A and B are shown apart, each in its own frame.
Chain A
Amino acid sequence: MSDAIRFLSVSKAFGEVRALSDLDFVAPSGSITVLLGPNGAGKTTTVRLATGSMQPDFGDIRVLGLVPMDDGREVRARVGVVPPKPAFYEQLTGWENLQFAATIFEASERAARDAAERFDIAHALDQEVGGYSTGMRTRLALARAVIHDPEVLLLDEPTAGLDPESSRAVLELISELAGKGRTIVMCTHLLHEAEGIADQVVLMDNGTTRAAGHPRDLARRYMADPVVIFDAENREVLATLEGRAGVIRMRRNGHVEVALDDLHRLPDLIAELVAGGARLTRVEPKQPTLEDLYFEMQRRHREEVTP
């Protein structure tokens, strides 16, 4: 699998503010790569650099084998972008906005109509965009971004402001596009979104890559300790788990989540709790989520930078 996008030690600053600092990541062709990070992590800057709309201060960027700053026109003709807050000419209708995009990207009106139908916005094309809801805008933005059948799709917070149903629909459409061989790079700070669709997650913070890989591999790498959820009718007894042999750490969240050094310790722990009077209602090994992973990485990073 070749690389659709490659960032190598890319840095970008705006005056005193460092947006990216030695950012490295690769988005393989035909995959969904999720850039995951808090606000200000540098995700939007990454998208803008990928299209050549901005110039990096340092580092090497390749998109479809091209250098965006040198071959910007070709890169932008082969890439589709959905910005974080999709904006349109409000007084124009949805169709007029799509026609404008079709002309610029040298796509046919048929392609514009097909894109609108694919994203279920064809019914509203005669309306002025000023009257569109957030969901309709997002759908129109997605239609506009794929009007020229791009090889790479850069989506910057595509579900921002959407209700859960619309978010799910958008994510399904994104997965569908990836299934057709398109390379998707999606920026988000919503962990549950990344979880469902990502082939690769790039965890970003302060403009740099903290980790990259498939969510499962990252979990294995950073969350090697098995976690078990305990709950009981008499929850106070669960506090006795702290300090027992094999318990690495414990987190209370109504129920109790316990990280063990070895899952084989579990039968003994259960026996000890029951012997201690615990009336257990739940004992469940927990699959680490991306959220767990994200916070674990943040925790480790804080430990690294704080002596």
Chain B
Amino acid sequence: MKNAKLIAILFLLMAPFLYSCQESTDVVESGTYQGTVDEVEADKTEIYVKTAEGQVLELYFTDNTTLTRNGETVAFDQLQTGQQVEVQVEKVGQRLDPIAVRILE
């Protein structure tokens, strides 16, 4: 029974740490940011960008989002994890709408 109580306490203390296993995202002000593509979800036309400051931006492309490389428009499938990008975002409420995404390499 003593062991059961100890295990119970350990489990309850462990629960908050499950949260740290998943990465939450950040909200930033409207502007232009540089960072690395952390994840690409092609079926949702969504990318995660990790900025130099360590913030993670979750960006869902809209119909108005432009994606360019060397000034030329490219398709979404050109985005890959690890690429350096510059993103121009507009903060709408707490949502970040990507205006322009430029692949830097």
**A and B: partners?**
no
Chain B residues with CB under 8 Å of chain A are none
